[in-house]
Structure 1
Amino acid sequence: MRSADLDRVRSLPLFGVMSDEAFKNVTGGAFLQKFPAGTTLLTEGDTVDFLYVLLDGSVELGASWNDKDTILAVLRPVSTFILAAVVLDADALMSAQTIERSDILMLSGEALRRAMREDAAFSVAVAQELSGCYRGLVRAIKNQKLRGGLERLANYLITQKIRQGGADTFSLPHEKRLLASVLGMTPENLSRAFASITDYGVVINGPQVTIARPSVLERLAKPDPLIDNHTPPSAAPTGKAQRERWPTDRNQRTGS
Protein backbone atom coordinates (compact mmCIF):
# COMPACT_ATOMS: atom_id res chain seq x y z
CA MET A 1 0.00 0.00 0.00
CA ARG A 2 1.11 3.51 -0.75
CA SER A 3 1.74 5.77 2.22
CA ALA A 4 -0.51 8.35 0.54
CA ASP A 5 -3.44 5.92 0.75
CA LEU A 6 -2.75 5.27 4.43
CA ASP A 7 -2.63 9.02 5.03
CA ARG A 8 -6.08 9.41 3.47
CA VAL A 9 -7.46 6.70 5.76
CA ARG A 10 -5.72 8.21 8.76
CA SER A 11 -7.36 11.58 7.99
CA LEU A 12 -10.86 10.16 8.54
CA PRO A 13 -12.36 11.10 11.94
CA LEU A 14 -12.87 7.39 12.64
CA PHE A 15 -9.14 6.64 12.47
CA GLY A 16 -7.60 10.00 13.33
CA VAL A 17 -7.77 9.43 17.08
CA MET A 18 -6.19 5.98 17.08
CA SER A 19 -2.78 5.48 18.55
CA ASP A 20 -0.02 4.92 16.00
CA GLU A 21 0.40 1.35 17.21
CA ALA A 22 -3.31 0.56 16.90
CA PHE A 23 -3.49 2.09 13.42
CA LYS A 24 -0.47 0.07 12.34
CA ASN A 25 -2.04 -3.13 13.65
CA VAL A 26 -5.36 -2.44 11.90
CA THR A 27 -3.81 -1.57 8.54
CA GLY A 28 -0.97 -4.09 8.70
CA GLY A 29 -3.12 -6.88 7.29
CA ALA A 30 -5.18 -4.65 5.00
CA PHE A 31 -5.10 -4.89 1.25
CA LEU A 32 -6.05 -2.53 -1.54
CA GLN A 33 -7.99 -3.80 -4.55
CA LYS A 34 -9.07 -2.18 -7.80
CA PHE A 35 -12.58 -3.13 -8.92
CA PRO A 36 -14.19 -2.42 -12.31
CA ALA A 37 -17.60 -0.78 -12.57
CA GLY A 38 -20.52 -3.03 -11.75
CA THR A 39 -18.60 -5.27 -9.33
CA THR A 40 -20.63 -6.67 -6.44
CA LEU A 41 -18.52 -6.25 -3.31
CA LEU A 42 -20.95 -7.98 -0.98
CA THR A 43 -24.58 -9.06 -0.95
CA GLU A 44 -27.03 -8.48 1.88
CA GLY A 45 -26.96 -11.48 4.15
CA ASP A 46 -23.25 -12.09 3.55
CA THR A 47 -20.88 -12.53 6.45
CA VAL A 48 -18.86 -9.32 6.82
CA ASP A 49 -15.16 -9.95 7.28
CA PHE A 50 -13.89 -6.49 6.36
CA LEU A 51 -14.54 -2.81 6.79
CA TYR A 52 -14.42 -1.24 3.35
CA VAL A 53 -12.75 2.13 2.71
CA LEU A 54 -13.53 3.71 -0.65
CA LEU A 55 -10.45 5.62 -1.82
CA ASP A 56 -11.39 6.29 -5.45
CA GLY A 57 -14.52 5.78 -7.54
CA SER A 58 -18.08 5.41 -6.25
CA VAL A 59 -20.19 2.71 -4.62
CA GLU A 60 -23.92 2.24 -4.25
CA LEU A 61 -25.45 0.52 -1.25
CA GLY A 62 -28.77 -1.17 -1.87
CA ALA A 63 -31.21 -3.88 -0.90
CA SER A 64 -33.85 -6.08 -2.50
CA TRP A 65 -37.00 -7.89 -1.44
CA ASN A 66 -39.72 -9.73 -3.31
CA ASP A 67 -38.30 -8.79 -6.75
CA LYS A 68 -37.99 -5.13 -5.71
CA ASP A 69 -34.68 -3.27 -5.57
CA THR A 70 -33.72 0.02 -3.99
CA ILE A 71 -30.60 2.12 -3.52
CA LEU A 72 -30.04 3.31 0.03
CA ALA A 73 -26.89 5.40 -0.36
CA VAL A 74 -24.28 6.48 -2.88
CA LEU A 75 -20.75 6.91 -1.56
CA ARG A 76 -17.83 8.99 -2.81
CA PRO A 77 -14.22 9.00 -1.56
CA VAL A 78 -13.08 8.89 1.09
CA SER A 79 -15.81 6.79 2.71
CA THR A 80 -16.12 3.74 4.91
CA PHE A 81 -19.10 1.42 4.91
CA ILE A 82 -20.58 -1.60 6.73
CA LEU A 83 -19.16 -0.41 10.06
CA ALA A 84 -22.12 -1.56 12.19
CA ALA A 85 -21.95 -5.08 10.79
CA VAL A 86 -18.21 -5.17 11.52
CA VAL A 87 -18.68 -3.98 15.11
CA LEU A 88 -21.40 -6.57 15.76
CA ASP A 89 -19.70 -9.29 13.71
CA ALA A 90 -23.07 -9.63 11.98
CA ASP A 91 -24.34 -10.26 8.46
CA ALA A 92 -24.63 -7.35 6.04
CA LEU A 93 -28.02 -5.67 5.78
CA MET A 94 -27.08 -4.01 2.48
CA SER A 95 -25.46 -4.99 -0.78
CA ALA A 96 -22.57 -2.95 -2.16
CA GLN A 97 -21.66 -2.50 -5.83
CA THR A 98 -19.21 -0.25 -7.61
CA ILE A 99 -20.73 2.35 -9.92
CA GLU A 100 -17.42 3.11 -11.62
CA ARG A 101 -13.89 1.79 -11.41
CA SER A 102 -13.03 1.98 -7.71
CA ASP A 103 -10.05 1.54 -5.42
CA ILE A 104 -11.13 -0.01 -2.13
CA LEU A 105 -9.10 -0.73 0.97
CA MET A 106 -10.29 -3.70 3.02
CA LEU A 107 -9.53 -3.74 6.75
CA SER A 108 -9.90 -6.85 8.88
CA GLY A 109 -13.06 -6.81 10.97
CA GLU A 110 -11.40 -8.83 13.70
CA ALA A 111 -8.47 -6.37 13.86
CA LEU A 112 -10.91 -3.47 14.19
CA ARG A 113 -12.85 -5.16 17.00
CA ARG A 114 -9.59 -5.88 18.79
CA ALA A 115 -8.57 -2.22 18.40
CA MET A 116 -11.88 -1.17 19.95
CA ARG A 117 -11.15 -3.30 23.01
CA GLU A 118 -7.63 -1.97 23.36
CA ASP A 119 -7.91 1.70 22.30
CA ALA A 120 -10.50 3.71 24.24
CA ALA A 121 -10.23 6.76 21.96
CA PHE A 122 -10.96 4.60 18.92
CA SER A 123 -13.97 3.06 20.66
CA VAL A 124 -15.37 6.54 21.29
CA ALA A 125 -14.77 7.44 17.63
CA VAL A 126 -16.69 4.33 16.55
CA ALA A 127 -19.58 5.26 18.87
CA GLN A 128 -19.63 8.79 17.45
CA GLU A 129 -19.53 7.45 13.91
CA LEU A 130 -22.44 5.09 14.44
CA SER A 131 -24.40 7.77 16.29
CA GLY A 132 -23.96 10.08 13.31
CA CYS A 133 -25.15 7.32 11.00
CA TYR A 134 -28.21 6.75 13.20
CA ARG A 135 -29.10 10.45 13.15
CA GLY A 136 -28.66 10.48 9.38
CA LEU A 137 -31.05 7.54 9.16
CA VAL A 138 -33.64 9.37 11.27
CA ARG A 139 -33.36 12.39 8.97
CA ALA A 140 -33.82 10.17 5.92
CA ILE A 141 -36.91 8.46 7.39
CA LYS A 142 -38.46 11.81 8.31
CA ASN A 143 -37.77 13.07 4.79
CA GLN A 144 -39.46 10.01 3.28
CA LYS A 145 -42.49 9.94 5.57
CA LEU A 146 -43.24 13.65 6.02
CA ARG A 147 -42.68 14.94 2.47
CA GLY A 148 -44.11 14.26 -0.93
CA GLY A 149 -41.92 13.47 -3.90
CA LEU A 150 -41.87 17.06 -5.20
CA GLU A 151 -40.81 18.37 -1.78
CA ARG A 152 -38.07 15.73 -1.52
CA LEU A 153 -36.75 16.69 -4.95
CA ALA A 154 -36.81 20.40 -4.06
CA ASN A 155 -34.78 19.82 -0.90
CA TYR A 156 -32.38 17.55 -2.77
CA LEU A 157 -31.71 20.29 -5.32
CA ILE A 158 -31.15 22.87 -2.58
CA THR A 159 -28.73 20.48 -0.90
CA GLN A 160 -26.83 19.88 -4.14
CA LYS A 161 -26.59 23.60 -4.78
CA ILE A 162 -25.00 24.12 -1.35
CA ARG A 163 -22.71 21.11 -1.66
CA GLN A 164 -21.44 22.25 -5.04
CA GLY A 165 -20.44 25.73 -3.94
CA GLY A 166 -23.71 27.68 -3.85
CA ALA A 167 -23.93 28.68 -7.53
CA ASP A 168 -27.43 28.75 -9.00
CA THR A 169 -26.33 26.39 -11.79
CA PHE A 170 -24.90 22.96 -10.95
CA SER A 171 -24.92 19.37 -12.21
CA LEU A 172 -26.81 16.39 -10.87
CA PRO A 173 -24.22 13.93 -9.54
CA HIS A 174 -26.15 10.83 -10.65
CA GLU A 175 -28.22 9.60 -13.53
CA LYS A 176 -31.93 10.02 -12.94
CA ARG A 177 -32.60 6.29 -12.51
CA LEU A 178 -30.28 6.22 -9.52
CA LEU A 179 -31.57 9.56 -8.23
CA ALA A 180 -35.13 8.24 -8.27
CA SER A 181 -34.14 5.34 -6.07
CA VAL A 182 -32.27 7.39 -3.49
CA LEU A 183 -35.25 9.77 -3.28
CA GLY A 184 -37.65 6.87 -2.77
CA MET A 185 -39.47 7.45 -6.06
CA THR A 186 -40.14 5.54 -9.24
CA PRO A 187 -38.44 6.88 -12.38
CA GLU A 188 -41.88 7.86 -13.68
CA ASN A 189 -42.72 9.83 -10.53
CA LEU A 190 -39.33 11.53 -10.64
CA SER A 191 -39.94 12.56 -14.26
CA ARG A 192 -43.28 14.08 -13.24
CA ALA A 193 -41.62 15.85 -10.31
CA PHE A 194 -38.95 17.34 -12.61
CA ALA A 195 -41.71 18.53 -14.95
CA SER A 196 -43.64 20.10 -12.04
CA ILE A 197 -40.66 21.73 -10.40
CA THR A 198 -40.09 23.98 -13.43
CA ASP A 199 -43.09 25.96 -12.14
CA TYR A 200 -40.91 26.95 -9.18
CA GLY A 201 -38.12 28.52 -11.20
CA VAL A 202 -36.00 25.43 -11.82
CA VAL A 203 -34.54 24.97 -15.31
CA ILE A 204 -33.46 21.44 -16.26
CA ASN A 205 -31.09 20.90 -19.18
CA GLY A 206 -29.96 17.27 -19.11
CA PRO A 207 -27.85 16.83 -15.95
CA GLN A 208 -27.53 20.61 -15.55
CA VAL A 209 -29.87 22.36 -13.13
CA THR A 210 -30.41 26.09 -12.70
CA ILE A 211 -32.36 27.44 -9.75
CA ALA A 212 -33.54 30.72 -11.24
CA ARG A 213 -35.81 31.70 -8.34
CA PRO A 214 -34.25 30.35 -5.13
CA SER A 215 -36.80 31.96 -2.81
CA VAL A 216 -39.68 30.37 -4.70
CA LEU A 217 -38.06 26.93 -4.53
CA GLU A 218 -37.36 27.34 -0.81
CA ARG A 219 -41.02 28.15 -0.16
CA LEU A 220 -41.88 24.82 -1.75
CA ALA A 221 -39.10 22.87 -0.02
CA LYS A 222 -39.46 24.37 3.46
CA PRO A 223 -36.00 23.11 4.49
CA ASP A 224 -35.86 22.12 8.14
CA PRO A 225 -32.63 21.75 10.17
CA LEU A 226 -34.22 18.80 11.99
CA ILE A 227 -34.57 16.96 8.68
CA ASP A 228 -31.99 18.47 6.34
CA ASN A 229 -28.26 18.68 6.94
CA HIS A 230 -27.16 21.35 4.47
CA THR A 231 -23.65 21.77 5.86
CA PRO A 232 -21.16 20.41 3.30
CA PRO A 233 -19.07 17.66 4.98
CA SER A 234 -15.81 19.24 3.85
CA ALA A 235 -16.78 22.53 5.49
CA ALA A 236 -18.21 21.20 8.72
CA PRO A 237 -16.17 21.71 11.88
CA THR A 238 -15.05 18.75 13.91
CA GLY A 239 -17.91 17.79 16.19
CA LYS A 240 -21.56 16.90 15.87
CA ALA A 241 -22.10 18.83 12.61
CA GLN A 242 -19.38 16.80 10.94
CA ARG A 243 -20.54 13.47 12.32
CA GLU A 244 -24.12 13.73 11.06
CA ARG A 245 -24.11 12.06 7.68
CA TRP A 246 -25.88 12.85 4.47
CA PRO A 247 -28.75 10.36 4.26
CA THR A 248 -28.50 9.39 0.59
CA ASP A 249 -25.50 10.91 -1.14
CA ARG A 250 -22.39 11.20 0.97
CA ASN A 251 -18.70 11.85 0.90
CA GLN A 252 -18.42 10.30 4.33
CA ARG A 253 -19.37 7.11 6.11
CA THR A 254 -22.30 4.82 6.61
CA GLY A 255 -22.96 2.09 9.14
CA SER A 256 -25.35 -0.90 8.76
Structure 2
Amino acid sequence: MRDSELAQIRQLPLFRTMADDSFALLMRAAYDQTFPAFVQLIEQGAEPDFLHIVVEGSVELFARWQDRETTMAVVRPVSSFILAACIKDAPYLMAARTLEKTRIILLPSVDLRAVFQTDHKFAMATINELASCYRSVVRHAKDIKLRNARERLAAYILRKTRDSKSASFIIPVEKRLLASYLGVTPESLSRTMKSLQEVGAKVDGQRVIITDRKALEAVAHPSPLIDGPDCDDEAALAGAALLDDGDDDESVVARPYTY
Protein backbone atom coordinates (compact mmCIF):
# COMPACT_ATOMS: atom_id res chain seq x y z
CA MET A 1 0.00 0.00 0.00
CA ARG A 2 1.36 3.43 -0.93
CA ASP A 3 2.30 5.89 1.81
CA SER A 4 -0.02 8.49 0.28
CA GLU A 5 -2.97 6.12 0.67
CA LEU A 6 -2.05 5.34 4.26
CA ALA A 7 -1.99 9.06 4.95
CA GLN A 8 -5.44 9.47 3.37
CA ILE A 9 -6.88 6.64 5.45
CA ARG A 10 -5.22 7.99 8.60
CA GLN A 11 -7.06 11.29 8.10
CA LEU A 12 -10.50 9.68 8.00
CA PRO A 13 -12.48 10.64 11.15
CA LEU A 14 -12.65 6.96 12.09
CA PHE A 15 -8.85 6.61 12.30
CA ARG A 16 -7.64 10.17 12.87
CA THR A 17 -7.36 10.11 16.68
CA MET A 18 -6.36 6.49 17.29
CA ALA A 19 -2.93 5.56 18.58
CA ASP A 20 -0.14 5.03 16.05
CA ASP A 21 0.46 1.43 17.14
CA SER A 22 -3.26 0.66 16.80
CA PHE A 23 -3.31 2.08 13.28
CA ALA A 24 -0.19 0.13 12.39
CA LEU A 25 -1.87 -3.06 13.66
CA LEU A 26 -4.89 -2.49 11.44
CA MET A 27 -2.80 -1.70 8.37
CA ARG A 28 -0.43 -4.62 8.88
CA ALA A 29 -3.05 -7.17 7.79
CA ALA A 30 -4.82 -4.87 5.33
CA TYR A 31 -4.56 -5.32 1.60
CA ASP A 32 -5.80 -3.45 -1.42
CA GLN A 33 -7.49 -4.77 -4.51
CA THR A 34 -8.78 -3.25 -7.74
CA PHE A 35 -12.12 -4.43 -9.09
CA PRO A 36 -13.68 -3.82 -12.52
CA ALA A 37 -17.06 -2.15 -12.89
CA PHE A 38 -20.24 -3.95 -11.79
CA VAL A 39 -18.56 -6.55 -9.62
CA GLN A 40 -20.50 -7.57 -6.51
CA LEU A 41 -18.24 -7.15 -3.49
CA ILE A 42 -20.46 -8.47 -0.71
CA GLU A 43 -23.86 -10.15 -0.45
CA GLN A 44 -26.47 -9.26 2.14
CA GLY A 45 -26.62 -11.92 4.84
CA ALA A 46 -22.93 -12.81 4.48
CA GLU A 47 -20.52 -12.71 7.41
CA PRO A 48 -18.55 -9.44 7.78
CA ASP A 49 -14.96 -10.46 7.10
CA PHE A 50 -13.64 -7.01 6.14
CA LEU A 51 -14.21 -3.31 6.56
CA HIS A 52 -14.05 -1.80 3.07
CA ILE A 53 -12.40 1.55 2.35
CA VAL A 54 -12.94 3.05 -1.10
CA VAL A 55 -9.83 4.90 -2.31
CA GLU A 56 -10.64 5.10 -6.03
CA GLY A 57 -13.88 4.69 -7.97
CA SER A 58 -17.35 4.28 -6.44
CA VAL A 59 -19.51 1.58 -4.86
CA GLU A 60 -23.28 1.21 -4.73
CA LEU A 61 -24.80 -0.19 -1.55
CA PHE A 62 -28.11 -1.87 -2.32
CA ALA A 63 -30.67 -4.29 -0.91
CA ARG A 64 -32.98 -6.93 -2.33
CA TRP A 65 -36.25 -8.38 -1.12
CA GLN A 66 -38.14 -10.94 -3.24
CA ASP A 67 -38.06 -9.43 -6.75
CA ARG A 68 -37.37 -5.88 -5.59
CA GLU A 69 -34.07 -4.02 -5.37
CA THR A 70 -33.22 -0.56 -4.06
CA THR A 71 -30.18 1.70 -3.81
CA MET A 72 -29.17 2.50 -0.24
CA ALA A 73 -26.16 4.76 -0.82
CA VAL A 74 -23.25 5.47 -3.14
CA VAL A 75 -19.78 5.43 -1.58
CA ARG A 76 -16.94 7.54 -2.98
CA PRO A 77 -13.29 8.05 -2.00
CA VAL A 78 -12.06 8.18 0.62
CA SER A 79 -14.61 6.52 2.88
CA SER A 80 -15.47 3.23 4.54
CA PHE A 81 -18.63 1.16 4.59
CA ILE A 82 -20.26 -1.68 6.56
CA LEU A 83 -18.70 -0.55 9.85
CA ALA A 84 -21.55 -1.63 12.14
CA ALA A 85 -21.64 -5.19 10.79
CA CYS A 86 -17.88 -5.51 11.37
CA ILE A 87 -18.05 -4.18 14.93
CA LYS A 88 -21.08 -6.32 15.85
CA ASP A 89 -19.80 -9.36 13.92
CA ALA A 90 -23.30 -9.58 12.46
CA PRO A 91 -24.41 -10.41 8.89
CA TYR A 92 -24.35 -7.66 6.28
CA LEU A 93 -27.77 -6.04 5.85
CA MET A 94 -26.79 -4.70 2.43
CA ALA A 95 -24.99 -5.86 -0.67
CA ALA A 96 -22.34 -3.82 -2.49
CA ARG A 97 -21.12 -3.60 -6.09
CA THR A 98 -18.71 -1.39 -7.96
CA LEU A 99 -20.13 1.23 -10.31
CA GLU A 100 -16.81 1.68 -12.13
CA LYS A 101 -13.25 0.47 -11.84
CA THR A 102 -12.69 0.73 -8.09
CA ARG A 103 -9.78 0.32 -5.72
CA ILE A 104 -10.59 -0.83 -2.18
CA ILE A 105 -8.58 -1.31 0.99
CA LEU A 106 -9.83 -4.25 3.06
CA LEU A 107 -9.27 -4.34 6.82
CA PRO A 108 -9.96 -7.65 8.61
CA SER A 109 -12.94 -7.14 10.90
CA VAL A 110 -11.39 -9.34 13.60
CA ASP A 111 -8.53 -6.82 13.89
CA LEU A 112 -11.03 -3.96 13.89
CA ARG A 113 -12.86 -5.47 16.88
CA ALA A 114 -9.62 -6.13 18.72
CA VAL A 115 -8.49 -2.51 18.38
CA PHE A 116 -11.97 -1.31 19.35
CA GLN A 117 -11.53 -3.14 22.67
CA THR A 118 -8.15 -1.61 23.47
CA ASP A 119 -8.00 1.86 21.90
CA HIS A 120 -10.32 4.29 23.67
CA LYS A 121 -10.03 7.05 21.07
CA PHE A 122 -10.77 4.64 18.23
CA ALA A 123 -13.79 3.32 20.14
CA MET A 124 -15.10 6.86 20.60
CA ALA A 125 -14.55 7.65 16.92
CA THR A 126 -16.44 4.47 15.98
CA ILE A 127 -19.35 5.41 18.25
CA ASN A 128 -19.45 8.93 16.81
CA GLU A 129 -19.46 7.61 13.24
CA LEU A 130 -22.23 5.12 13.94
CA ALA A 131 -24.24 7.81 15.77
CA SER A 132 -23.93 10.09 12.74
CA CYS A 133 -25.06 7.25 10.50
CA TYR A 134 -28.05 6.57 12.74
CA ARG A 135 -29.12 10.23 12.67
CA SER A 136 -28.75 10.28 8.89
CA VAL A 137 -30.94 7.18 8.62
CA VAL A 138 -33.64 8.77 10.81
CA ARG A 139 -33.60 11.95 8.70
CA HIS A 140 -33.87 9.95 5.48
CA ALA A 141 -36.68 7.80 6.87
CA LYS A 142 -38.60 10.95 7.85
CA ASP A 143 -38.01 12.38 4.37
CA ILE A 144 -39.43 9.25 2.73
CA LYS A 145 -42.36 8.74 5.13
CA LEU A 146 -43.50 12.34 5.59
CA ARG A 147 -42.98 13.87 2.13
CA ASN A 148 -44.46 13.03 -1.23
CA ALA A 149 -42.22 12.46 -4.25
CA ARG A 150 -42.34 16.11 -5.39
CA GLU A 151 -41.43 17.42 -1.95
CA ARG A 152 -38.61 14.87 -1.64
CA LEU A 153 -37.02 15.88 -4.93
CA ALA A 154 -37.34 19.60 -4.16
CA ALA A 155 -35.72 19.06 -0.75
CA TYR A 156 -32.92 17.02 -2.33
CA ILE A 157 -32.18 19.81 -4.82
CA LEU A 158 -32.09 22.40 -2.05
CA ARG A 159 -29.73 20.24 0.05
CA LYS A 160 -27.36 19.79 -2.88
CA THR A 161 -26.96 23.56 -3.18
CA ARG A 162 -27.13 24.39 0.53
CA ASP A 163 -23.41 24.66 1.22
CA SER A 164 -22.23 26.20 -2.03
CA LYS A 165 -25.26 28.49 -2.48
CA SER A 166 -24.82 27.75 -6.17
CA ALA A 167 -27.77 28.02 -8.52
CA SER A 168 -26.92 24.70 -10.20
CA PHE A 169 -25.29 21.32 -9.69
CA ILE A 170 -24.60 18.08 -11.53
CA ILE A 171 -26.56 15.04 -10.31
CA PRO A 172 -23.63 12.87 -9.15
CA VAL A 173 -25.24 9.49 -9.89
CA GLU A 174 -27.32 7.92 -12.62
CA LYS A 175 -30.94 9.03 -12.44
CA ARG A 176 -32.08 5.46 -11.83
CA LEU A 177 -29.95 5.42 -8.65
CA LEU A 178 -31.32 8.78 -7.55
CA ALA A 179 -34.85 7.53 -8.17
CA SER A 180 -34.23 4.44 -6.05
CA TYR A 181 -32.66 6.51 -3.28
CA LEU A 182 -35.67 8.87 -3.24
CA GLY A 183 -38.07 5.92 -3.24
CA VAL A 184 -39.65 6.42 -6.66
CA THR A 185 -39.49 4.73 -10.04
CA PRO A 186 -37.30 6.27 -12.78
CA GLU A 187 -40.46 7.15 -14.69
CA SER A 188 -41.93 8.91 -11.66
CA LEU A 189 -38.67 10.79 -11.11
CA SER A 190 -38.76 12.04 -14.69
CA ARG A 191 -42.36 13.26 -14.29
CA THR A 192 -41.54 14.93 -10.98
CA MET A 193 -38.52 16.71 -12.44
CA LYS A 194 -40.69 18.10 -15.23
CA SER A 195 -43.28 19.30 -12.71
CA LEU A 196 -40.64 21.23 -10.77
CA GLN A 197 -39.76 23.28 -13.85
CA GLU A 198 -42.91 25.28 -13.12
CA VAL A 199 -41.82 26.12 -9.58
CA GLY A 200 -38.12 26.83 -9.61
CA ALA A 201 -35.91 23.98 -10.90
CA LYS A 202 -34.95 23.23 -14.50
CA VAL A 203 -33.25 19.97 -15.47
CA ASP A 204 -30.87 19.79 -18.42
CA GLY A 205 -29.49 16.26 -18.69
CA GLN A 206 -27.63 15.66 -15.42
CA ARG A 207 -27.52 19.36 -14.53
CA VAL A 208 -30.16 20.89 -12.27
CA ILE A 209 -30.57 24.67 -12.36
CA ILE A 210 -32.50 26.49 -9.63
CA THR A 211 -34.48 29.32 -11.22
CA ASP A 212 -36.55 30.31 -8.18
CA ARG A 213 -35.21 29.17 -4.79
CA LYS A 214 -38.11 30.61 -2.76
CA ALA A 215 -40.67 28.83 -4.94
CA LEU A 216 -38.73 25.58 -4.52
CA GLU A 217 -38.63 26.08 -0.75
CA ALA A 218 -42.39 26.55 -0.78
CA VAL A 219 -42.68 23.03 -2.25
CA ALA A 220 -40.12 21.32 -0.01
CA HIS A 221 -40.69 23.17 3.28
CA PRO A 222 -37.08 22.56 4.43
CA SER A 223 -36.73 21.49 8.05
CA PRO A 224 -33.56 21.32 10.16
CA LEU A 225 -34.96 18.14 11.72
CA ILE A 226 -35.06 16.43 8.30
CA ASP A 227 -32.58 18.31 6.14
CA GLY A 228 -29.97 19.06 8.80
CA PRO A 229 -26.20 18.95 8.39
CA ASP A 230 -25.92 15.20 9.02
CA CYS A 231 -28.33 14.43 6.17
CA ASP A 232 -25.71 13.33 3.64
CA ASP A 233 -27.52 12.11 0.55
CA GLU A 234 -24.90 10.19 -1.41
CA ALA A 235 -22.45 9.57 1.39
CA ALA A 236 -21.13 6.15 2.27
CA LEU A 237 -23.52 5.43 5.07
CA ALA A 238 -26.71 7.25 4.23
CA GLY A 239 -30.15 6.01 3.44
CA ALA A 240 -33.01 3.86 4.53
CA ALA A 241 -34.32 0.56 3.23
CA LEU A 242 -37.04 1.41 0.76
CA LEU A 243 -39.70 -0.87 -0.64
CA ASP A 244 -41.58 0.24 -3.74
CA ASP A 245 -44.29 -1.63 -5.59
CA GLY A 246 -43.15 0.04 -8.83
CA ASP A 247 -46.42 1.86 -9.49
CA ASP A 248 -47.65 3.98 -6.59
CA ASP A 249 -45.26 6.49 -4.99
CA GLU A 250 -47.37 6.63 -1.85
CA SER A 251 -46.78 2.92 -1.22
CA VAL A 252 -43.11 3.51 -0.42
CA VAL A 253 -42.20 2.33 3.06
CA ALA A 254 -38.98 3.30 4.84
CA ARG A 255 -37.35 0.84 7.21
CA PRO A 256 -34.35 2.19 9.13
CA TYR A 257 -31.45 -0.19 9.48
CA THR A 258 -28.11 -0.42 11.22
CA TYR A 259 -25.13 -0.28 8.88
TM above 0.5, yes or no, is yes
How far the C-alpha of 1:159 sits from its partner, in A, is 1.4
Equivalences, count: 240
Give the corresponding residue for 2:249.
Answer: none
Q: Would the aligned equivalents of 1:54 and 1:104 in 2 still touch at CA under 8 Å?
A: yes
Give the corresponding residue for 1:234.
Answer: none
Cα-to-partner distance string for 1:27-48 (whole Å, 9 max, x where unaligned): 1110011111101000101111
AA in 1 matched with 2:121: A
Task: Tell me: CA distance 1:20–1:10, structure 2 relative to 1, closer, same or farther (3 Å).
Answer: same
In 2, the alpha carbon distance for the partners of 1:147 and 1:56 equals 34
Helix, strand or coil at the partner of 1:129:
helix
Give the corresponding residue for 1:162.
Answer: 162
How far the C-alpha of 1:88 sits from its partner, in A, is 0.7
In 2, the alpha carbon distance for the partners of 1:152 and 1:133 equals 20
Helix, strand or coil at the partner of 1:13:
coil
In 2, the alpha carbon distance for the partners of 1:82 and 1:192 equals 34
How far the C-alpha of 1:129 sits from its partner, in A, is 0.9
How far the C-alpha of 1:245 sits from its partner, in A, is 5.3
Task: Tell me: CA distance 1:253–1:28, structure 2 relative to 1, closer, same or farther (3 Å).
Answer: farther
AA in 2 matched with 1:135: R
Question: Structure 1 residue 138 and structure 2 residue 138: aligned?
Answer: yes
Give the corresponding residue for 2:152.
Answer: 152
How far the C-alpha of 1:79 sits from its partner, in A, is 1.1
In 2, the alpha carbon distance for the partners of 1:52 and 1:99 equals 15
AA in 1 matched with 2:208: V
Give the corresponding residue for 2:195.
Answer: 196
Q: Would the aligned equivalents of 1:79 and 1:253 in 2 still touch at CA under 8 Å?
A: no
Kindly, what percent of the aligned residue pairs are identical?
Answer: 42
Name structure 1 gaps, 5 residues minimum: 232-243
Helix, strand or coil at the partner of 2:64:
strand
Helix, strand or coil at the partner of 2:162:
helix
Deviating beyond 2 angstroms after TM superposition, the runs of 4 or more aligned structure 1 residues are 252-255
Name structure 2 gaps, 5 residues minimum: 239-257
Give the corresponding residue for 2:186.
Answer: 187
In 2, the alpha carbon distance for the partners of 1:245 and 1:159 equals 9
In 2, the alpha carbon distance for the partners of 1:245 and 1:120 equals 27
> So what's the TM-score if we normalise by structure 2?
0.90
Q: Would the aligned equivalents of 2:140 and 2:231 in 1 still touch at CA under 8 Å?
A: no
Give the corresponding residue for 1:48.
Answer: 48
Q: Would the aligned equivalents of 1:44 and 1:63 in 2 still touch at CA under 8 Å?
A: yes
In 2, the alpha carbon distance for the partners of 1:201 and 1:135 equals 29
In 2, the alpha carbon distance for the partners of 1:132 and 1:209 equals 28
How far the C-alpha of 1:170 sits from its partner, in A, is 1.7
In 2, the alpha carbon distance for the partners of 1:253 and 1:140 equals 11
How far the C-alpha of 1:253 sits from its partner, in A, is 4.5
In 2, the alpha carbon distance for the partners of 1:154 and 1:201 equals 9
In 2, the alpha carbon distance for the partners of 1:130 and 1:179 equals 24
In 1, the alpha carbon distance for the partners of 2:144 and 2:218 equals 19
> So what's the TM-score if we normalise by structure 1?
0.91
AA in 1 matched with 2:4: A
